[in-house]
Each structure stands twice: as structure tokens, then as C-alpha cells.
Chains A and B, each alone.
Chain A
Amino acid sequence: MRYLRDRIISLAVTLLLISAVTFFSVNVLPSDPAILILGTEGDPERLESLREELGLNRPVLARFASWLGGLLSGDLGRSIRYSVDIAPLIRNALPVTLMLALAAVALALLISIPLGIGCAVKQGSLFETLSLILTQLGMALPSFWLGLLLINLFALKLGLLPPAGFTSWASLILPAWALALPRAAVLTRVVRGSMIDALNQDYIRTARSKGLPQLLVLYRHGLKNAAVGIASVAGVQLTQLLGGTIVIEQVFGLPGMGQLLLAAALQRDLPLVQGLVVTSAALILLANFGLDLILLGFDPRLRYE
């Protein structure tokens, strides 16, 4: 229990610090959303009154205080670019990115666990050699290029899946695969390594000598012990994805947080950028926290380290 309480406190403090750093770095750098709003066709004489309207002339600390106050009550302010409240904008974009990241990691695990176990069990075989070559290839391929290939094959040539845009959850299938394959490549090697270590332990020899079937030995005794290593890597991949789906979202036209952040940054929509960064940070912190709890479940010894 004390562990939980300590973690939650440190989570809150970290989030506060991140909010402060985000706000000040975004607002202290020279950038003027009013200029962007006026573009090349608006009257430049409107610049000052527009800045007044947007509250850009208030002192920085006052703006930080009111933003932080809003943040604590769930109000992320209003987007300069879209003239709507930010919280609903992020609420619409979040599920897309979250589902994409989770689907990608789930697929990666689905592929890598059987593949990695197969390699560990059949060390030195043709199967293992082929797998190692495939994974080497998989690690080298960039996700966006894979994405374009998948679109070309499944959407254009075969017409089975939607090519771009977000029309239904089916729109996430191809991008999830594009993200999953390179990560599956890395994970396969991790699974293989962890399993080889686990399978060399004494308790495996004991289990076998007890006459347990191979599958039970592999999964109940082998995988469970290898799980800590695998889950750590998968967890890191998930947190990276939570912050980094921007390129795939661009290629597939998905309205996730990555796209929103890109649009906001290019338009100098400062409140939206702040809201998105803080939300992503919160997500990543929560994911890490969740990961730690899962790892504790696998290996209670970690609690005492």
C-alpha cells in the first residue's frame, strides 16, 4: 500500500513539473498565433487588437496561473485555431491514438511470442535462421514505408480495407500492422533471448523429468519466468508509441493526437499544444505505472528492490 501511495504522489509531482516546463517553453519562445491567423490576406492593422483578444499581452505568470487552475478542474482552455474547447478536441483524438498504440503492441506480442518461443526451442534450426533474418529485416524497415506498402496491397490492389481516413475501427487495421511489424521483430529477439535463459534453468529440467507435456513446460514454467523481460520491452514500446504515432497518423490520415499536435504546432495554437503535451505526458506516466504493477504481478521480488 505504501508503495502505491508513494507512486501516486510522485506521479502527481512529475505531472505538475511537466505542465510547468511545457507552458514556459511554449510561451516563452518567440511565436505569434495572431500573425498566423491573419496570414497574407488579413489586415495587419488588426494585429494588436487580435493579440488583445487572444489574451497574448497578459503577463506570462498570470497566464500560467489561470491555465494551471483550469487544468486542475479539467478545463484545458480554448483552441485558438479551432475556436472550440480543447478538452473535447483531445477527447476525440485520444481513443484513436490509444487504440492504435494498444493494437500495435498487442499484434506485436501475438506475433513475437510464438515466433520467439519457436526459435528458443528449435535453436540452430532452419526455422530459427529464417526467423532471425526476417526479424533483422523487420527492424530495418521504417513504419511509414511499410504503411504505404500495406495501403497499396490491401487497399488499392485488393480493395479489402480502407486506405486512409478514419471511417470505422477497421481503419486502424493497416496502420496497426505497419507499426506492429518492426516492433514484433525486436520483441521476437527479446522473447527468444528470455526464453533461452528461462529454459536453461533447473526448474525446467525438473518439470520435464516430472513428465509434464512440452506445451505446459514452455508456457506455464518457461514463459511465465521470461515474462518480466518481455513485458518490460513491450511496455517501453507502448510508451514510445503513445508519444510517437505522428508519422503513421499522417500517412493514414488518422485524426489522432499526433496529427492534432502537428497541426497545432504549425498554427502556433499554444493552448492546444500545451493541452496535448500534458495529456500525452499523463498517458505515458500512467502507462509506466501500469507496467510497473504488471511486472510486480509477475515478479513480487521487485517490490523490495
Chain B
Amino acid sequence: MRLLTISILVFVLVGSGITSAANGDVLNIAVPTDPDSFDPNRSVAAAAAEIGFNIYEGLVKSTPEGQVTGALASRWEIDSSQTVYTFYLREAYFHNGSRVTVEDVVNALNRARDPQVSQRAGNYAAIDAVYSVGDDKVVIELKEPYAPLLYELTELAAAVYPKEASDLGIRPIGTGPYKLEEWRPNQYIKLSRFDSHWSGQQPYFREVYFRIMPDYTSAVISLKTGNIDVIPRLEASYLHQVENVPNLVVHAAPMNLVQLLAVNNARPALQDVRVRQAIAMAVNRDEIIIGAAWGQAEKLYTGLSPAMPEFYNPITADLLPYDPVQAQALLREAGYRSLELTMTLPSAYPLHVQTGEIIADQLRRIGVNVKIEIVEWGTWLEKVYTQRDYDLSVVGLTGKLDPHTILSRYVSTNSRNFTSFNSAEFDQLISEGIRVSGVERKAIYDQAQEIMTREVAAVFIMDPMQLNVLNAQIKGWQNYPVYVIDVAALSR
């Protein structure tokens, strides 16, 4: 007994000397997973884009309002044919001290659009040529007008790095306000302030640690004790642990993520649009938002989120409203008294699993019996996403800045069209949408959204709020409509 008491005392005394309150110059952010790679050509994981936003810059970057602003390009001109973009390069330096040259920019962009090198080359297929003019201009020539170009150039895949750089995956060299100091897999990613950023400004925090904490409970406790300063994207089920806590602040905003009930259009029973419409009309979004997202979400009815107010088409809400009676009628009209379907859900995302369970219940009420199968993420990607071997599923797709990049997925020939949606009219509209701009463009996407909702490319459910929880001392948090964390804007 004495030994027990003594050992407790010893350990506690030793331990208490070592914990310290967070240093004012150091920021600690809790993230659930490591990034996949910091190489702009290889990385596809959102976690890398989130952190990479601070390390790399392209010709342009995104603003918190979802617009495009100059980064390495101070300004740009678009010619009258909408196919030649001229970017004026400003004076800027890489983290290794060398100056950014037009050759670096041309090299980075050519690699980004090379399908042998880049995992995201498809996004830049519209580019015909990239070349430099003089030592301060970079020209991008397109085959035809392509409205999303500027938005796509804000993505990590179009980041600029020195042309002789190698091993960017673990040793990224960019022009951003922070550079990568150290990456310990499964532990943390350490960034340190870059003092020669082209803007002449220095961010407040000297060092930033992105600490890998897969368990939200531990992360929340660490936030409360002050060991962690920020938890981005906290799960809604943990909200009650952090709201009304005096030293914590919750910044909530729509995620620009579209959660959908994926309906495999290629399955025999689901090929009939009436069956798909019946399923759509049996879904009660209010129940789902309360039951799965604790009320922290915004309803949506089509492939875009209301977080993109310039393009979201609110008429789609009236096309297939919640009406279980009508749903049953449609089902019977298609020749089914009842239907057996399997729903495959990804265990890594509790929000989608809970949504799926609620929908299964709602479908049972109209005579569709749903068997739920919960699989882990790797299996989901293989079975549902790649092999398209499923009936129903629930998943979320992250938002982008431009409607084309989001909606083109549902084009019948697109390799990412995992719901196998097939509408010639929709395909036509999407191919036209990139060629025009302004009001004409909006009208095209309005129509496209109506088609994808009415013909049930999927049943689109909600945009969950992103709940970013911060220590009350941290100022300057900006909510972006894309998956990034802007560390340079933060201060204490």
C-alpha cells in the first residue's frame, strides 16, 4: 500500500513539471489523419490540400468567399476568344531562397496536366499549351473556352515549385507563408514561418503543429486543457461537449460538401426512373438532419450545395418533394409491390452510416426493404466506387469552387460517375457550360441541376455544417468553401 502511494506521488510530481501551457508563438491543430503526400502531382487526399494551402501557392488562390485572387500572378488578361490567358508573374521567392522564374511555373503546370505524372491531369485536359513570354509572363492556351480554368488553378495540383525539386512528397518547396519543418507520420506535421513571403507580411504564429489525433474524444479533452488550440471539422455528435464552454469558440459554416444517397442507376430494378423517383420521394431530409447531424446541416436537393449561391438552383426542392404516398404510387406504377435492396455504408464516416440507417427506415415505410452492409473505407472504394457493385450507398463529396468540376462527375462517360447516371441531355449541357459565361452559364447549370434531380442521378440530402472549435484566444479564423485551413490569418 505504501509502495503504491509513493509511486503515484513520484509519477505525478515528475509529470506535472513537464506539462506546460501552450507557447504564445506556437499553434497546435488537431487533425484526424496524416496527409497522403505533399507532392502536388500525387496528392489527392483532402488532408494534404488542407495543410498544403499554407505551404504552396499557384498562380492564383481561393478567397474565403470562394472567389479567385492573385497569388504568384499579380494580374492576368483573358483575350476576346476566351482561349488565351496571360498571367503576369510577380517577384516571389521559394522557401529555399531561389527566385520564382517563369520556367518554374511552366514546368509545374505542364507536369500537372501530364497524365503520366499527375493524378489529377484530367482537371487540366482543356489546356493546349503552356509557355513563357519574356521573363515575367506565363501564357496558357486552351483548345476551347473553359470557364473553370481559373478555379482549377487554385487547387493544390497547380501549385508552383522549383523545377529542379525532387522528393516533393516529403520535402515540399513552395512559396506559401509557411514551410514544412518536420513530418513525423502518425504524430505531427510541423510548419515554421517563412520570412520572405512575397506579400511582405509575416504570419503571427512562428510554428504550427498539425497533431494527428484520430480519436475526437482525446482531441476535445486536449482542447479543453489548452494542449490543442484548434479542432477543424469536429463531428456534430461532439458539439454538446464544446458549446457553452467559456474558453472555447465554435465557428460554424456550411462545408460545401454534398452528402448523397447514391442510387446505382445501372441496377435492373433501379434503371426505371419511377423506382428511383419513388426512393427520392420517400426520403425525409428533416428527420435525417436532426437524427444524424444534430440539426447542424442545410438541406439540398441537387448536386451543388447552397454554399454556392451563385449557381445553386433552389427550384430543385420542388421537383421531388417528400411524399411517401406518391412514392408508393410510383413504385406500384413501375410494377413493384415491394423491393429488396442492399445499402453499403462506409464505417469510417459515422454521419453517413447514421444517415443510411435513417433512410433505410424511411424506405421500409414505402415497401422497400433495405439490408444494411457496413464496410470499411478501403472496401467501400473498391466495391462501391470502383467496381460499382452496390444498390444504394451514402457518401459525401467535397466541394470545389466551380460548378463544372463538381457536376461533370455525373456525365455518362466520366470515370468518376459511380452512380452510372446516363442522360444525354445532361451530358450536352455540361459540355456547353464550359464555353460560356455569365447569365448564360448560370442558365445552363440551372437546367443541368433540374435534370440530375428529376432523373435521380442520386438523392441529394444535405450540406453538413463544418464545426471548427477554437480556443477563445485565437483570432482571425476564416471559413473557406474549400477544404483548407488558413493558418497565416490566425493570431492570438
In the complex, chain A residues 217-236 whose Cβ is within 8 Å of any chain B Cβ: none
State which of A36, A43, A49, A170 has its C-beta within 8 Å of the C-beta of B19.
A170
| Residue-wise interface mask of B (164-203) relative to A, using a CB-CB cutoff of 8 A (1 in contact, 0 not) | 0000011000000000000011110000000000000000
* Contact yes or no, A35 B386, CB < 8 A: yes
In the complex, B222 has a CB within 8 A of chain A:
yes
* Contact yes or no, B416 A40, CB < 8 A: yes
| Residue-wise interface mask of A (151-165) relative to B, using a CB-CB cutoff of 8 A (1 in contact, 0 not) | 110111001111111
State which of B15, B36, B46, B218 has its C-beta within 8 Å of the C-beta of A251.
B218
- The smallest beta-carbon distance between A223 and chain B, in angstroms, is 14
- The smallest beta-carbon distance between A198 and chain B, in angstroms, is 20
Measured between beta carbons, the chain A residues less than 8 angstroms from B397 are: 40
- The smallest beta-carbon distance between A261 and chain B, in angstroms, is 10
Measured between beta carbons, the chain B residues less than 8 angstroms from A115 are: 1, 4
Nearest to A147 among chain B residues (CB) is: B218
In the complex, B16 has a CB within 8 A of chain A:
yes
* Contact yes or no, A40 B227, CB < 8 A: no
- The smallest beta-carbon distance between A96 and chain B, in angstroms, is 9
A266 to B37, CA, bound (A): 17
* Contact yes or no, B19 A160, CB < 8 A: yes
- Interface with B: A14-22, A67-75, A81-89, which one? A81-89
- The smallest beta-carbon distance between B456 and chain A, in angstroms, is 20
A/B interface sample: 11 pairs, CB < 8 A: A31-B378, A38-B381, A40-B397, A46-B119, A84-B170, A163-B221, A164-B213, A165-B222, A173-B11, A253-B212, A266-B376
Which residues of B does A touch, CB under 8 Å?
Answer: 1-4, 7, 11-12, 14-16, 18-19, 33-34, 36-37, 44-46, 115-116, 119-122, 169-170, 184-187, 211-215, 217-219, 221-222, 224-225, 227, 348, 376-378, 381-382, 385-386, 395, 397-398, 415-416
Given A41-B398, A44-B415, A110-B7, residue A156 in contact with residue B224 (CB < 8 A) = yes
- The smallest beta-carbon distance between A154 and chain B, in angstroms, is 8
* Contact yes or no, A89 B218, CB < 8 A: no
* Contact yes or no, A44 B386, CB < 8 A: yes
Given A36-B381, A263-B186, residue A43 in contact with residue B221 (CB < 8 A) = no
Measured between beta carbons, the chain A residues less than 8 angstroms from B15 are: 160-162, 170, 173
- The smallest beta-carbon distance between A31 and chain B, in angstroms, is 6
* Contact yes or no, B44 A114, CB < 8 A: no
* Contact yes or no, B385 A93, CB < 8 A: no
State which of A32, A83, A251, A252 has its C-beta within 8 Å of the C-beta of B170.
A83
Given A170-B15, A255-B212, residue A39 in contact with residue B218 (CB < 8 A) = no
State which of A44, A84, A151 has its C-beta within 8 Å of the C-beta of B221.
A151
In the complex, A143 has a CB within 8 A of chain B:
no
In the complex, A194 has a CB within 8 A of chain B:
no
Nearest to A41 among chain B residues (CB) is: B44
* Contact yes or no, A39 B45, CB < 8 A: yes
- The smallest beta-carbon distance between A38 and chain B, in angstroms, is 6
Measured between beta carbons, the chain B residues less than 8 angstroms from A49 are: 116
In the complex, A166 has a CB within 8 A of chain B:
yes
In the complex, chain A residues 139-191 whose Cβ is within 8 Å of any chain B Cβ: 148, 151-152, 154-156, 159-168, 170, 173
| Residue-wise interface mask of A (93-117) relative to B, using a CB-CB cutoff of 8 A (1 in contact, 0 not) | 1000000000000010011001100
A222 to B19, CA, bound (A): 42
Nearest to A31 among chain B residues (CB) is: B378
* Contact yes or no, B222 A38, CB < 8 A: no
- The smallest beta-carbon distance between B215 and chain A, in angstroms, is 5
Nearest to B186 among chain A residues (CB) is: A255
* Contact yes or no, B121 A253, CB < 8 A: no
A46 to B117, CA, bound (A): 9
A147 to B44, CA, bound (A): 35
Nearest to B347 among chain A residues (CB) is: A266
* Contact yes or no, B34 A263, CB < 8 A: yes
A154 to B377, CA, bound (A): 35
Measured between beta carbons, the chain A residues less than 8 angstroms from B4 are: 110-111, 114-115
A152 to B221, CA, bound (A): 8
Q: A114-B4, A160-B15, A160-B19 are in contact. List 18 more A-B contacts (CB 8 A).
A: A31-B382, A38-B381, A39-B45, A39-B381, A40-B397, A44-B415, A45-B415, A47-B386, A81-B185, A83-B169, A83-B170, A151-B221, A152-B221, A161-B16, A168-B18, A170-B15, A252-B218, A268-B378
